[in-house]
Amino acid sequence: MQNPLKILLVEDDIDDIELLEGALNDNSVVYEMEVLMEGDLVYPYLTNCSILPEIIILDFNLPKVHGRDILIQIKSRDNLKHIPVVVLTTSSAKEDMDFALENGASKFITKPTNINDLNKAIETILECSPV
């Protein structure tokens, strides 16, 4: 049996969390997912968790700490910078995409608006995972 993909999802919208979970299940992805809904919880979580995630899915528009700052925190730490970070956000702004990719994100995906695009987003996320 395949080991589950360990995902950290940083997302504050419950509907988006449920959509992503549904799409992972629809695509037969075996996963364990931890969800953090506020940006200020990410670094303490990563510092104290016993098993690091294999991939981080990060929204940019978060309460308390912006996703840009979280990305910089992750990629500036030697023990975390190897973890692929996929930015999944409502923004389609070129400056957000450029910032994400220039600061170590593996992919930048604008949140899908339909199921086909959501399935493509899952494929892109899985391309970045080490499993």
What pLDDT, in 10s, does the model give residues 10-20?
Answer: 999 999 899 88
pLDDT tens string 82-115: 999 999 998 889 999 999 999 999 999 888 767 7
What is residue 1's predicted lDDT score, i.e. its pLDDT? 55
Given a contact cutoff of 8 angstroms between Cβ atoms, the answer to whether 45 and 51 are in contact is: no
Domain, as residue range, for 72: 5-128
Q: Quickly list H helices, 1-131.
A: 14-26, 42-48, 67-75, 94-102, 115-128
The length of the chain is 131
Taking the C-alpha atoms of residue 94 and residue 117, their distance in angstroms, rounded to an integer, is 19
How large is the average pLDDT for residues 39-62?
Answer: 94
What is the tens place of the pLDDT at every residue in 56-78? 999 999 989 999 999 999 999 99
- Residue 124: what pLDDT? 80
The pTM of this model reads 0.91
- Name the token pair of 18: 């449920």
Number of domains the chain is built from = 1
Q: What is the CATH number of the domain that holds 110?
A: 3.40.50.2300
